Amino acid sequence: MEKSNSEIENSENAEDLSNIENIAYIDINGTKMAIELLDSQKYENVEAIPIKSDFFGKKDFITLKKGYEMDLVEIKELENSTVNTVLCKNDSVVPLILIDDDEITGAMQNRIINDTLLIPAQSSINIHVSCTEHGRWHTRGEGEASRTFKPSLYSANHSTRSRKSRASYEERDYQGEVWDSISEFESRSNFKSMTSALNDSYENLKDKQNDYLSKFHIEDGQNGVIFIVNGELKGLELFYNHRIYKEYHEKLCRSYIIEAIVEKKSVDNIDRLELMNLLENISQSEFKSKKSIGLGDNIKFSNDFGSGSGLIWEDELIHMTFFKDFVINEVII
């Protein structure tokens, strides 16, 4: 039996409403995009909402993990080692993408990348990093090889990333923020690393993380994710394309899961329209743009809800993060 005109109209209206509830339009300092929210995935007090953008980046980049495995990328201490700068060498024929807050381990102490960067093909650049292992300043071996880094299984945890993002936007030195955040997380998780290494905190809770991790899978075409913990939006992660996102999916999940494990609360569902409004309000942020030390421009932005950053190159968004401000005892940090 054919549908009546009114039934068809109601069906179309319902579809339009569904689209409105699942697509957010965001303008990042002039770079416009639509983001589709896919079906959410939930476990315990964590909700992950896979997202797809209306662009699919076709430029070819090599990731840190792939570059390291192929012996095309090397990150090592400077000749005269310093905490917040290391040397990155890219021998690949394509740009190397380094992701903000990705951890590198070894050398004199573990570090995280300070900003998302594109390192030009066949070039060497001094890059800015933050220490995530306050209690060590020596190599764990002999010779030049002991001064090099390898990719970590982890990135910085959400609270550290949020605090670093806010301090970076406000142009404050944030090495102290990173150390304080790692120390406070150890207190919250009743754990103490011998060298105050964030990596050790992850290893300490790895089995519990794995229980969560198995519940969050990658959707076809997914190039980003929104995380909600204890009923609160915590962060948005958006990557250039599906291929790059896949390499970082597990790290991203762990960075939120580890917080959810130690701050477990009763869960209230967040309203989808409220969530869409929060996302679209990103466009109303105050933006700052600065030429990157690599390719493109680094973007920092802030609004009443939180802060974020990104990298734009040749009018394409390469990577973007946005975090709810981290709050302790009703004080924004």
In a domain, 58, yes or no: yes
**pLDDT tens figures, 184-195:** 999 999 999 999
- What six digits make up the tokens of 212? 């969560």
Find how far residue 306's CA is from the centre of its chain. Answer: 14
- What six digits make up the tokens of 332? 């924004």
In a domain, 236, yes or no: yes
Backbone angles phi, psi at 64, to 5 degrees: -60, -45
**pLDDT tens figures, 314-333:** 999 999 999 998 765 444 55
In a domain, 9, yes or no: no
In a domain, 11, yes or no: no
pLDDT score, position 220 = 96
The answer to whether 196 touches 133, Cβ cutoff 8 Å, is yes
| Structural domain range at position 165 | 22-327
In a domain, 313, yes or no: yes
Backbone angles phi, psi at 134, to 5 degrees: -60, -25
The β-bridge relationship of strands 117-119 and 85-90 is unpaired
CA proximity to 101, closest of 8, 203, 257, 237? 237
In a domain, 150, yes or no: yes
DSSP 107-144: TTS-EEESS-EEEPTTEEEEEEEEESBTT--S-SSSSG
Q: With a cut of 70, list the residues of the chain below it in pLDDT.
A: 1-20, 327-333
- What six digits make up the tokens of 302? 């802030």
pLDDT score, position 113 = 99
In a domain, 97, yes or no: yes
For residues 1 and 11, give the distance between their C-alpha atoms in angstroms, rounded to a whole number: 16
Computed over its alpha carbons, how large is the radius of gyration of the chain?
20
What total of structural domains would you count in the chain?
1
pLDDT score, position 8 = 42
The answer to whether 164 touches 178, Cβ cutoff 8 Å, is yes
Instruction: Tell me what the pLDDT averaged over the chain comes to.
Output: 92
In a domain, 285, yes or no: yes
For residues 202 and 208, give the distance between their C-alpha atoms in angstroms, rounded to a whole number: 10
For residues 317 and 258, give the distance between their C-alpha atoms in angstroms, rounded to a whole number: 28
DSSP class of residue 85 equals E
